[in-house]
Each structure stands twice: as C-alpha cells, then as structure tokens.
Amino acid sequence: MESLWANSAFAEPHIVLRLKLLPYSPGHEINLCAINSPFVTGAEGRLDDFFTAVLLCAHSFEEGQKLIRRPNKVRSFCWLWGLLLRIGWKPDMFHAELSRFRGYLSTGSWSPDTNRVVSRHVQMRTLKAPRVWRLVPFLCAHLGLTESQALNFPIARANAYYAAMADKAGDIDLIGEEDNDLLDYLKKIEAQEAQKEKPWDS
C-alpha cells in the first residue's frame, strides 16, 4: 500500500508527443473542463482534442489559460502533429502515444480508496463542488500554498494528503491494512529487552 501511495503521489515524468508533461494538477483539469475536453467529459474525441489536451498538460495553469485565449499556437501544434501522422506515423504509434496519455491521466488523478464515510450524526447539506475545486482551498489552508501554486500542484499528491488528514480526523476509513509492521516489530524488540535479551546484538 505504501508503494502505491508513493509511486502515484510522486510519479515518474511522462512524455507524450515528445512533450514532457507536468504533474497532472487542478489547473490542468480546470483548463480541460473549460474547453470541454473529452478526456474529462467522457465524450467522443477527435485527434485535435488529443493534441490539445497534451499541449495543455505540458504547461502550467497560467500558460494554459493563455493558450486557451490565444488558440493559434494550439492550432499550429495540432496541424503539425496531424501532418506527422499523415506522413510517416503508423496507427500503432499513435495508439501508443494515446495510451501513454491515458496512463498519465490515470496516475495523475489517483486517489486513495475508502471503505465508507464515517457519520458524525450531524445533519448538513452535502456540497457538490468538483473535486479539484475542493483541493485548491485545502492546499492553500493546510500547506500554505498560494492559489497559483495550488493550481499547479499534482492532484495525486494532493489527494494523498487530503485523504491522510481526513483519515486522521475520522472522516473516512481508508481501504488497506493498518500500517502496524514497524510498530509490531518495535513491540517485539521491547518485549525481548524486558526479558533481558539483547535483540540488537544479533
């Protein structure tokens, strides 16, 4: 379980269409939602949708906002990659790039699984704000980030911190065994020392 958290929250860099993508952040998802990208809406997509999504994820939130408002660079990027596909790319090469991008989104959006929501017996309205809009104020309040830093912070890492704090507060119950291996080992050592054994000499 620990390795899953570490490998998802601090994932290896992704390269798609020869661009090094930034860690998938709330700002990326907000920008993709702003253009109704099929990668966040689940709708059918075209080649240009794929190229545009990759380009936005290779830039910070602020840079992505500029690209959205001045789409000439986006069009040029889409035209170039469309030309490369027509000239010499094989279909399986395109599918490999698409698969890499889907892997990037999957890894970047990772969140720990929970068993249930623990009731506090308090009657309240449930807010339905999108997940990334909840993460931004959390990052600002608890990690002391600026809004700009929060918008560019990796989602998977934010989800890990968010879940860890909610788990500690008793708001959620994380799936997985308790992390007792080290504690059990230390108790065993203490018991051996209490019996006048010397566990550290072995």
Residue located via tokens 């918008």: 151
pTM for this predicted structure:
0.74
> 114-117 and 172-174 as β-strands: parallel, antiparallel, unpaired?
antiparallel
Question: SS3 letters for 67-99?
Answer: HHHCCHHHHHHHHHHHHHHHHCCCHHHHHHHHH
pLDDT at 177 over 70: no
> 14-16 and 114-117 as β-strands: parallel, antiparallel, unpaired?
unpaired
pLDDT at 118 over 70: no
For 119-148, write each residue's pLDDT tens digit.
Answer: 555 444 555 667 888 899 999 999 999 999
Torsion-angle region of residue 42: left (phi > 0), alpha (psi -120 to 50) or beta? left
